[in-house]
Amino acid sequence: MNKKVKQIISLMAVFGCIAIASSSCGKKDPNSPGVEFMPDMYRSPSLETNMAYVTIENGKETGDTLQANRMPVNGTIPRGFMPYAYANDTAGYANAGRYLRNPFPANAANLAEGEELYVKFCVHCHGTGGEADGLVASKLSGPPPSYKGPVLMALSEGKMFHSIYYGKGIMGSHSSQVSKAEIWKIILHIQKLQYPNGVQAPAPLAVDSAAVVKVEAHK
Ligand code: HEC
């Protein structure tokens, strides 16, 4: 290789470097990330669930939207989930007492499950026999009434369900600990404590004479 050729090559290298350097520094848009070698690595073509994407061209919204799936319509409920129709207020309490019925029969399996759940979640306040003599009950500012007292003997199963589901007074809601089916089985056990010779639940209509007729629709 003669001297002239070497000079030409080194000159080309210098100009090349200057060209590369000026192309990366002389950007028009200071926010531009520069050349993207694999744009789909930066901007994934996949769409997120339940997100509406706005399409922008030349800095303006085109009015087109991209969406992976539609938002569920109002009132959609998960499969297998049954909403509770009664609001947590006086009317809801009265209506629950009036219209709610235990769908589970008082057979040996349901009673056994109810007792097991009662011992886990209720016994420390309400006591083994339901006489409000649990270990925690004595520490409460207002201990629960006995299941065998006149007030709770007259309580319809629907009102019981409502109070266990939402809570009442200083008793908190148990809807996160026990399912609706489990609440009904616990109620079977409570009724067994109240009526050891067989369930004689009070007639709801007679007890709830002040019930409001309007049933709250689920929103
Ligand atoms: C922290 C103590 C505590 C626990 C735990 C507890 N309760 Fe209660 N419960 C109470 C008190 C206190 C009341 C009285 C509430 C009132 O009338 O103000 C009550 C009231 C009730 C009533 C009557 C509701 C009404 O409408 O008058 C029922 C039924 C009941 N509890 C069932 C249960 C069941 C079933 C469990 C377990 C799943 C349970 N409780 C767990 C303290 C408790």
Mean of per-residue pLDDT scores for the chain: 83
Q: For residue 88, give Cα distances in angstroms to 13, 23, 92, 145.
A: 80, 68, 6, 21
**In terms of residues, how long is the chain?**
219
Least trusted range by pLDDT, from 56-60, 115-119, 125-129: 56-60
pTM assigned to the model: 0.70
Least confident span in 19-33, 70-84, 171-185, 201-215: 201-215
Write the CA distances from 209 to 95, 147, 157, 214, integer angstroms.
10, 21, 15, 14
* Dihedrals phi, psi of 114, to nearest 5 degrees: -60, -45
CATH 1.10.760.10 fits 90-207, yes or no: yes
Confidence of residue 82 (pLDDT cuts 50, 70, 90): confident
Nearest CA to ligand 1 atom 28: 160
Pocket of ligand 1 (CB under 6 A): 121-122, 124-126, 136, 140, 142, 144, 152, 155, 159-160, 163-164, 168-171, 174, 178, 186
More confident residue, 13 or 176: 176
Per mean pLDDT, which range of 4-18, 29-43, 139-153 is the poorest?
4-18
C-alpha dist (Å) from residue 116 to 26, 108, 113, 120, 185? 76, 12, 5, 6, 10
Q: Assess whether pLDDT exceeds 70 at residue 209.
A: no
Rounded Cα gap, residues 93 and 97, in angstroms: 6
Q: What is the pLDDT of residue 174?
A: 97
pLDDT band at 45 (very low <50, low <70, confident <90, very high): confident
